[in-house]
Structure 1
């Protein structure tokens, strides 16, 4: 995306994470922040009882993650003095990216017609909670409400009889999935513009992303005429002992996903030190194994519970059947496969300290993106304004008027 400019008027994580992906792909992303307040997410100091930054450091995963590689300009869109600057930025951009609600877009002059009046060839991309139109178009939402709750994941992940609803497993879970989806839509829109000369609009809602993530079960529910039964891990073991999750001796978990148990059973029994199970008359064919799956799963559970996670990692090395360790978030950051392709990437913060961030998962020519840190608040205001021809005196006047930072 070198040579593509994205003008982002958005805050928090969902839509800014789309801008981060485009920046990973080489686009020049200009992040417009309110001239005094900045992105509201800059004000968050604690998440899940953890500080989002360190004392004496400007680096914050909450900001640098969804804003890596961008430039920041402080611009008070509500002030008339900022209009010319906004229009110059729109005129010089290929994509206008926002998550502001309709009332705010109308008030600030950044609705589709406003933006297209300045630049008819611009791709207008909008991330919403519940849709670009319809009864909830003006309703705000976060991924916990629009993606997780409304999209079907929360109910599906909560066992019957649970005292509490299962929460999203990590922060910004739906936001980052939605951001990648929105970035893909923008890429397709730019491709369309290149081929036809017409720039389409792009709309992605978090509820829509949530429904897409759960589409297999939603589709089955539509056929069934009602909600599906909740997933029961015990019942899953009872139908195929090699598609289940088992606890190890050190209270870790292994996830097995061998959908063809007859194919993998013999080698699996050898790897767990029970080769006699492959010729046991209860399990010596795929049909028998499935018919006696509950009994087989009890044997497998006992075998896997006898050794530690690390011991099983060594024992299963090179095994044909599909399996994985259930990793915690720190282990994901150390994952050997992710590091081998450069997806856990170095980034130097404003103080010169090397940090690490997860890179976006799409790679081109098998090269990992080279990440740069997220911008400090309004860090590039003067630089960007001079690029569009603002003189020093005009810049001073704009600052006096409070139109720019």
Structure 2
């Protein structure tokens, strides 16, 4: 049994951030009902062009990633009939999850007090761009603006002298991280309600999540009074540690070494690269000397590591004591045996998707595909106790799809 079996979530949300929270909750076992506009659905369904990638036909990863395992109802909550159905759904829910801005929540009558009027114990969860307080609380935003740019990641990752900024590495990067934060907050609120009977209002913003992701660097920056800066491209990772940085291989791939105690690992690295002579080299006899002679050590390691391919080094480094990793792109991760062994990629319908990072009892989630638009409308209405005559009336009125 998955930990959230029996929990019902009503999700009134669009795009990537808040729906990705619903996707995590669904993988943890919750029944997540995605409420979509009766005609247009979630605008994310129309997203076909993402950077240089274009998706034709279905399935569309742009909607599947954040909507796996849910059920969809097409509902026009601006009509009295549609609003009645929404409140009926909310009255039976454990969690009401929304991405709507404060003004739109008031407009549609789905703010905290509105939902609590029909369900006093519901956990009310909202995702925002810039947080629930302050003069900008009513403003919207995306992960590019609030998470990436404003929360300092863009400036911190863009090397000095580069015009503009480095953009996020993939679509919905900040959305997915922030959505996982929101799912965790919702789960904590459910635990509190289980213990005390008291419901919570859960808030997570893209801005807050972006700051949290940069938290270590921001703490250093504020303490030392200077901004965190990215190194110039091509510079070795650490100025005082040859075993913490990137090295090119013979087939133009890269290895990442992160051995924060170079004195502890130096001899083992030297043996694995067939350079035992370096172990007793007076330049590298102690941790302090290794640090002081980082430039010379990096030059030697670059030359040696460039002589063999990544596959060759992977075989040799299978017994290397210090932490290292191959640098992989978004396609290469699909061939990584360790990723496969842990089932971090899972099948959801016709697609392979990355599983949410939490596993229970050493078991990977088994998500279903994202629902087709409004595919479960009638099923959900029947569960509410409506008969077919009433369902037809709602359809005729345009209240449901």
Partner residue, 2:332 = 331
> Contact 2:236 / 2:246 at 8 angstroms: preserved in 1?
no
> Contact 2:346 / 2:353 at 8 angstroms: preserved in 1?
yes
* More deviation, 219-228/155-164: 219-228
Kindly state the Cα deviation for residue 229 of structure 1 after the two structures are TM-superposed: 4.2
Partner residue, 2:71 = 71
Q: Does 1:217 align with 2:213?
A: no
Candidates 4, 7, 11, aligned match of 1:4: 7
* More deviation, 81-90/186-195: 81-90
- Aligned counterparts, 1:22-41, within 5 A: 22-41=25-44
Secondary structure of 1:66's match? coil
Q: Does 1:378 align with 2:374?
A: yes
Give the Cα–Cα distance (whole angstroms) in 2 for the partners of residues 341 and 307 of structure 1.
28
- Aligned counterparts, 1:156-235, within 5 A: 156-232=156-232, 234=235
Kindly state the Cα deviation for residue 315 of structure 1 after the two structures are TM-superposed: 1.4
Partner residue, 1:351 = none
Q: Which runs of 5+ in 2 are unaligned?
A: none
Kindly state the Cα deviation for residue 356 of structure 1 after the two structures are TM-superposed: 1.2
> Contact 2:157 / 2:229 at 8 angstroms: preserved in 1?
no
For residues 49-83 of structure 1, what are the alpha-carbon distances to aligned partners after superposition, in whole Å with 9 as ceiling and x for unaligned? 2223x44xx31111111100000000001111112
Q: Which runs of 5+ in 1 are unaligned?
A: 349-353
For residues 262-312 of structure 1, what are the alpha-carbon distances to aligned partners after superposition, in whole Å with 9 as ceiling and x for unaligned? 110001011112111111010121111111111111111111112111111
- Aligned counterparts, 1:21-170, within 5 A: 21-52=24-55, 54-55=56-57, 58-170=58-170
Give the ranges of 4+ consecutive aligned residues of structure 1 lying more than 2 Å apart after TM superposition. Answer: 228-238
Give the Cα–Cα distance (whole angstroms) in 2 for the partners of residues 32 and 94 of structure 1.
15
Give the Cα–Cα distance (whole angstroms) in 2 for the partners of residues 236 and 334 of structure 1.
26
Give the Cα–Cα distance (whole angstroms) in 2 for the partners of residues 125 and 333 of structure 1.
34
> Contact 1:238 / 1:297 at 8 angstroms: preserved in 2?
no
Equivalenced residues, count: 397
Give the Cα–Cα distance (whole angstroms) in 1 for the partners of residues 260 and 251 of structure 2.
26
- Alignment CA distance shift 1:218-1:274 (3 Å): same
Partner residue, 2:351 = 355
Secondary structure of 2:35's match? strand
Give the Cα–Cα distance (whole angstroms) in 2 for the partners of residues 317 and 213 of structure 1.
31
* More deviation, 186-195/76-85: 76-85
Q: Does 1:368 align with 2:364?
A: yes
For residues 347-390 of structure 1, what are the alpha-carbon distances to aligned partners after superposition, in whole Å with 9 as ceiling and x for unaligned? 22xxxxx4311111101111111111000000000000000011
Kindly state the Cα deviation for residue 9 of structure 1 after the two structures are TM-superposed: 0.2
- Alignment CA distance shift 1:198-1:37 (3 Å): same
Kindly state the Cα deviation for residue 135 of structure 1 after the two structures are TM-superposed: 1.2
Kindly state the Cα deviation for residue 136 of structure 1 after the two structures are TM-superposed: 1.1
Partner residue, 2:384 = 388
> Contact 1:237 / 1:297 at 8 angstroms: preserved in 2?
no
* More deviation, 180-189/270-279: 270-279
Give the Cα–Cα distance (whole angstroms) in 1 for the partners of residues 230 and 377 of structure 2.
52
Q: Does 1:291 align with 2:287?
A: no
Partner residue, 1:345 = 346
Kindly state the Cα deviation for residue 13 of structure 1 after the two structures are TM-superposed: 0.7
Secondary structure of 1:114's match? helix
**RMSD between aligned alpha carbons?**
1.2
Partner residue, 1:311 = 312
TM-score, normalising length from structure 2? 0.97
Secondary structure of 1:244's match? strand
> Contact 2:14 / 2:42 at 8 angstroms: preserved in 1?
yes
Kindly state the Cα deviation for residue 235 of structure 1 after the two structures are TM-superposed: 6.0
For residues 90-120 of structure 1, what are the alpha-carbon distances to aligned partners after superposition, in whole Å with 9 as ceiling and x for unaligned? 0110000011111111111111111111101
> Contact 1:237 / 1:294 at 8 angstroms: preserved in 2?
no
Give the Cα–Cα distance (whole angstroms) in 2 for the partners of residues 217 and 148 of structure 1.
14
